[in-house]
């Protein structure tokens, strides 16, 4: 029997990530090849015509799984009945800016859209915040939508996770699909800590630690980390626009794994509400290694954290605490 359609909201749908993301969703990349979807697309009035153009293209592409499209500039209409909300709407950073520089423009959007989601989304709606500063926007959304369970509000660090997989695969000349269990800790910013201490590569002789195969701690503790931390800026420098296809694809990975589950023995990185695990202060949206089952994520517990890593986990937590304070000062 055919499944009922799932309603997926994409805010900022007329923007560049939106343009890459909506066809992926309509093709089943996010929720599966047998899952019909109804797309809800929100943008602001100056982008209404462009949004309508995206809607026309979705119709023209004749996606078999796409059972309807709502394209609107009204947040209430956009949020009504949605089961998944991918929050991309906002302002991207430009060359020379840090992600927190877009703070004052973006956090106020997340405060106001929190209440539209809280009042009008379907019960148990899963929320993924992509717009920067992603962790702090997600935290503001959580704080101003108190009736949405905190487990349902997440932010995107899967792009950083995928970037880390990509760097290891390039360095070792192995398939990216054979590398697993890298971790992004903390903020989706240049203080994030890409950690390979638990990562492995599938080889004919079984899974081998990335550290053993790379055999170059100076690279793993230096250039590898900074490359992943700075990759967003490198894309902006090269494209004069921030990453879009990789962000859209990673957003699909994030929701797919959350809804359909992670593979046995594999963990992924998600920005989630911290419960104090790994001595990260509770009450931040912080990227952790997680596994997902039955539509719920759980933080992977008990991984040993060495002194080098501890400092990096703390540094990015400190930045998130500062961002939280700054966000509140922007809202006041």
| 130 annotated to a ligand binding site | yes
- Binding segment for ligand LMR (CB under 6 A), chosen from 229-237, 272-280, 286-294, 307-315, is 229-237
- Which residues lie below 8 Å from residue 124, measured CB to CB, with a gap of 6+? 83, 149, 152
Which of 40, 161, 188, 254 is catalytic? The answer is 188
- In the chain, the largest separation of any two C-alpha atoms, in whole Å, equals 58
- What span, in angstroms and rounded, lies between the C-alpha atoms of 9 and 30? 12
88 binds, among ligand LMR, ligand NAD, none (CB under 5 to 8 A by kind): ligand NAD
| 93 annotated to a ligand binding site | yes
324 binds, among ligand NAD, ligand LMR, none (CB under 5 to 8 A by kind): none
State the pairing for strand pair 193-195/183-185: antiparallel
- Shortest distance, position 236 Cβ to ligand LMR, whole Å: 6
Q: Which 149-208 positions form the footprint of ligand LMR (CB under 6 A)? A: 159
43 binds, among ligand NAD, ligand LMR, none (CB under 5 to 8 A by kind): ligand NAD
Residues 240-269, mask of contacts with ligand LMR (x by CB under 6 A) = --xx--------------------------
- Binding segment for ligand LMR (CB under 6 A), chosen from 15-23, 121-129, 171-179, 231-239, is 231-239
| 135 annotated to a ligand binding site | no
Secondary structure (DSSP) of 169-224: HHHHT--GGGEE--EEEB-SSTT-EEE-TT-EEEETTEEEEHHHHH--HHHHHTHH
- Using CB under 6 A as the criterion, which residues of the chain lie in contact with ligand NAD when the complex forms? 11-12, 14-18, 42-44, 47, 88-93, 109, 130-132, 134, 156, 159, 188, 242-244, 247
Secondary structure (DSSP) of 18-37: HHHHHHHHHTTTTT-TT--E
Number of neighbouring beta carbons within 10 Å of residue 124: 11
Is residue 133 a contact partner of residue 242, using CB atoms and an 8 Å limit?
A: no
Using the 8-state DSSP alphabet, how is residue 100 labeled?
G
Is residue 320 a contact partner of residue 140, using CB atoms and an 8 Å limit?
A: no
| 99 annotated to a ligand binding site | yes
- Shortest distance, position 325 Cβ to ligand NAD, whole Å: 20
| 3-class state of residue 253 by DSSP | helix
| 15 annotated to a ligand binding site | yes
Catalytically active residues, by annotation: 188
Binding residues: 12-18, 43, 93, 99, 106, 130-132, 163
């Amino acid at each position: 029997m055919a499944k009922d359609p799932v309603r997926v909201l994409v805010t900022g749908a007329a923007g560049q990530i939106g343009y890459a993301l909506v066809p992926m969703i309509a093709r089943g990349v996010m929720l599966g090849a047998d899952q019909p979807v109804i797309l809800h697309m929100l943008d602001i009035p100056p982008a209404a015509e462009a949004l309508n153009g995206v809607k026309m293209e979705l119709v023209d592409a004749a996606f078999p799984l796409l059972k309807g499209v709502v394209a609107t500039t009204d947040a209430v209409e956009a949020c009504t009945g949605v089961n998944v909300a991918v929050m991309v709407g906002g302002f991207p950073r430009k060359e020379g800016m840090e992600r927190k520089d877009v703070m004052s423009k973006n956090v106020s959007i997340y405060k106001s859209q929190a209440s539209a989601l809280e009042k009008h989304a379907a019960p148990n709606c899963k929320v993924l915040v992509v717009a920067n500063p992603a962790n702090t926007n997600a935290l503001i959304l959580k704080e101003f939508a108190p009736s949405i369970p905190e487990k349902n509000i997440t932010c995107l660090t899967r792009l950083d996770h995928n970037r880390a997989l990509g760097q290891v695969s390039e360095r070792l000349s192995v398939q990216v699909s054979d590398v697993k269990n890298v971790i992004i800790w903390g903020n989706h910013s240049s203080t994030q800590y890409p950690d390979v201490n638990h990562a492995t590569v599938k080889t004919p002789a079984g899974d081998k630690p990335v550290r053993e195969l790379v055999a170059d701690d100076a690279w793993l503790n230096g250039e590898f980390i900074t490359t992943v931390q700075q990759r967003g800026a490198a894309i902006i420098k090269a494209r004069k626009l921030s990453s879009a296809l990789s962000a859209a694809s990673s957003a699909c990975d994030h929701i797919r794994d959350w809804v359909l589950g992670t593979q046995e023995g594999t963990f992924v990185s998600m920005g989630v509400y911290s419960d104090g695990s790994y001595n990260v202060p509770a009450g931040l949206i912080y990227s952790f290694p997680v596994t997902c089952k039955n539509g719920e994520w759980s933080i992977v517990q008990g991984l040993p954290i060495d002194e080098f890593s501890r400092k990096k986990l703390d540094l990015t937590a400190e930045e998130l605490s500062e961002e939280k304070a700054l966000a509140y000062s922007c809202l006041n």
